[in-house]
Amino acid sequence: MNIGVIGYGHMGSMIVENILKLELLFDDEKLIVSNRNIEKIQHLKEEYEELDVEITEDNTELASKCEKIIIAVETPQFKDLLNEIKPFLKENCHIMYTCSGLEFENVEKIHDGKFSMIIPTYASTVSSSNSIASQNRRKGVTLIKHNSKVGFEEQKYIEDLFNEFSYVKKFEEFNMDMENPFNYTSDLNNFSMKNDIEVSTIITSCAPAFIAILIEKLASIASMKSGIPKNEMEQMITKTVLATASLKDDYNLSNEEIISQVATKGGITQEGVDFLNKNMDRIYEKLIYQSISRFDEVKKELEEEYYKKIRKKSGKRKLFFYN
């Protein structure tokens, strides 16, 4: 069986490198990677010459050879790419894509086939020092949702593959209210979610950037106040974040338990905890709200891209959809 990956940006390269570094291909499987700049993927043949890897700059060639295809391109590029490879797809080809915000009802207008939405996180990158037997190689969370045409064995295959280097959370397909897909009002206080995958995407896929900027800001301010170089501050904060995560992951400590063991009544830590409790709720509410609002805007932009307005013959303007 041939597995194809189209696109070698941040997500595509992470998926390809993880599959190859961890030697996740079975004996009867070949990995085919396509990228418009073939020089960017030339090293794969050299670094993994013992594995069955093929590279190409021709997406249609890849489509004609593969039973499973992972499309890891930017969302605005997906429609043209799917139209490009559609005539060359094998019968019953299973297509997986990493484009968040792109619903099945949109892509099925172009190709009525098997689709899975896969939202990985860049935090799942496996370093070269991670051995195949490493117990700590699974990093981050991958969100997966399948359309109704993807069978159980096909679902299990892709979930097991991503489970080798990340933790997989599966979402069931459901019919979304397109009049108000996120079920929220303009009032931040009344904001509520109807679709869990959008918030989960923000927490798992977007959050590494949010966490990085928190480390950046804290290190910058602490450096200015102390005179300690910023890079040293970043190292101290990063090690502390990792150690705190380990307390939760390895020892199953709750947030409350960690706080109670570090903070003493009337002490320095408790002063900081009280300040954060007082001020952070509104910031995080606003962060989620702003991110989901942009998610909604992207979905509407995609609707306009995938569906067209036409004029009824009677001369009266009417909106309806066609491919």
Mean pLDDT of the chain: 84
Q: What is the largest CA-CA distance in the chain?
A: 76
Determine the pLDDT at residue 183. Answer: 42
pLDDT of 306 > 80? The answer is no
* Per-residue model confidence (pLDDT) at position 299: 78
Of 52 and 85, more confident:
85
Return the pLDDT at 297.
85
| pLDDT confidence of residue 158 | 96
Residue type, 26: F
| 169: β partners | 143
Which whole-number Å values give the CA distances from 243 to 136, 140, 250, 251, in the listed order?
14, 16, 10, 11
Domain spans in the chain, listed from the N-terminal domain onward: 2-171, 188-306
Question: What proportion of the chain, given as a percentage, has pLDDT over 90?
Answer: 61
Of the pLDDT bands very low, low, confident and very high (cuts 50, 70, 90), residue 314 is very low
At residue 52 the predicted structure's pLDDT band, cuts being 50, 70 and 90, is confident
Q: What is the mean pLDDT of residues 46-67?
A: 94
Q: Dump the DSSP string for 90-111.
A: PTT-EEEE--TT--HHHHTTT-
pLDDT of residue 190: 41
Q: For the domain bounded by 2-171, which CATH number is listed? A: 3.40.50.720
Stretch 106-119: mean pLDDT:
94
Percent of the chain clearing pLDDT 70 (strictly above): 85
pLDDT value for 178? 39
- How would residue 201 be classed by pLDDT, with cut points 50, 70 and 90? confident
30 has which bridge partners? 2
Confidence of residue 205 (pLDDT cuts 50, 70, 90): confident
pLDDT in tens, 20-33: 999 999 989 999 99
The radius of gyration of the chain from alpha carbons, rounded to an integer in Å, stands at 23
pLDDT confidence tier of residue 307, bands split at 50, 70 and 90? low
Tokens representing 102 are 């792109």
The yes-or-no verdict on residue 41 having pLDDT over 90 is yes
Higher-confidence residue of 317 and 141: namely 141
Please, which pLDDT band fits residue 196 given cuts at 50, 70 and 90?
Answer: confident
202 — pLDDT class (breaks 50, 70, 90): confident
CA angle 163, 164, 166 (to 5 degrees): 55
Residue 8 pLDDT grade (very low, low, confident, very high; cuts 50, 70, 90):
very high
Measured from the Cβ of residue 87, the count of other Cβ atoms closer than 10 Å reads 9
- pLDDT at 242 (0 to 100): 87
Q: What DSSP string runs through 26-69?
A: -TT-EEEEE-SSGGGTHHHHHHTTTS-EEEES-HHHHHHH-SEE
Helix (H, G, I), strand (E, B) or coil at 195: coil
Least confident residue range of 17-26, 259-268, 291-300? 291-300
What pLDDT shows up at residue 25?
92
One fold for 2-171 and 188-306: no
Examine the pLDDT at 217 and tell me if it is beyond 90.
yes
Residue 130 has pLDDT above 80, yes or no: no
Rounded mean pLDDT, 151-175 = 88
Q: In this predicted structure, what is the pLDDT of residue 137?
A: 73
pLDDT value, residue 322: 34
CATH 3.20.20.10 holds for 188-306: no
What is the rounded distance in angstroms from the CA atom of residue 138 to the CA atom of residue 135? Answer: 7
- Determine the pLDDT at residue 323: 34
